[in-house]
Amino acid sequence: MKKGIKDMLKHKKLTLRVSEEAKSLVSDFLLGLEDATGTAEDIIEGEGFEVSAYFPKKTDLSPAIKSLRNYLNFLEENLPGFRAGNIKIEEIDLSSWVLWKQELKTVRAGKRVVIRPPWEEYSPKEDEVVIEINPSMAFGTGHHETTRLCIQAMEEIFENVNVKNVLDVGCGSGILSIAAVRLGVDGATGLDIDPVAVEEAKKNSEKNSVSHKIKLVCGYLETVKEKFDLIVANISVETILLMKDELKLRLNSGGKLLVSGIPNSRRDEAVSGLEKGGFILERELREGDWVAIVFTGD
């Protein structure tokens, strides 16, 4: 690998451990810091959640650390049960990520949907739908259980209900919006607060020749004014419950809400919160430590 490319792949990684109710808030804050190139959330068995942000190697992180500490103090004062560990900084070489990408293989995400990276060929069989997604550190690839669960649930919903439009909340790479359109819905709206994610979703929708059927919005749920037959939210439990009223307002009568990003250990909390919001539990799917849950709006 040439020296210039190697230098581009060298980054600083800022990491801290936080309690579960704060992981998405802290991750969003880190992503908004100047020069941040991406964030990640990881479950640390028995120790909560670790949130990381990546910066170019030459970045002076002193202002970022000061801003983060102020934000953590704010959360400590206003968020019951909030906990945060020490802030750690390390230098990393992302060439390992480049090499790891090359190991990613084609994956089956449902009965019909197959997801492949750009460097692999796959010939669809019968009524299979093949989606090309370019893996990225910050976006969904189809290899995570929650993505597969959402696609499986969508396949079942589309078999039994006439769904014309879909709202994909926290669209990331756009994989669920693309899958919905490729499975036959008239149109999908992908929503994400991260402009980098929206740009990535745009690229992926163009690769899969469905950009004319997918509307991408950078912003919060309040910016979306339409109503939908199906809303998919593969995000955190906290965010789902915080926006449950806004989700209800954007669901057509008899529409479906599909939520995931939910650990099995928090399934009851998610169900209880959404039922209090007026949603009716319909069914659920599980894989590993994760669950996807389907509700009707009324």
Mean pLDDT to the nearest integer, 105-116: 86
pLDDT of residue 138: 42
pLDDT of residue 1: 34
Q: What does the alpha-carbon distance between residue 101 and residue 118 come to, in Å, rounded to a whole number? A: 11
Q: Which own/partner contact pairs does 50-54 have at CB distance under 8 Å and 24+ positions apart?
A: 50/15, 50/16, 50/17, 50/18, 51/15, 51/16, 51/17, 51/18, 51/23, 51/26, 51/27, 52/13, 52/14, 52/15, 53/13, 53/14, 53/27, 54/11, 54/12, 54/13, 54/14, 54/92, 54/94, 54/137
What's the predicted TM-score (pTM) here? 0.70
For residue 57, name the pLDDT band (cuts at 50, 70, 90).
Answer: confident
pLDDT of residue 37: 76
What average pLDDT does the chain have?
A: 86
For residue 102, name the pLDDT band (cuts at 50, 70, 90).
Answer: low
Sign of the Cα pseudo-torsion (241, 198, 178, 224, in order):
positive
pLDDT of residue 3: 34
For residue 6, name the pLDDT band (cuts at 50, 70, 90).
Answer: very low
Q: Is the pLDDT of residue 4 over 50?
A: no
Spell out the domains of the chain, with CATH numbers in brackets. 3-99 (3.30.70.120), 135-296 (3.40.50.150)
pLDDT of residue 82: 85
Q: Is the pLDDT of residue 43 over 70?
A: no
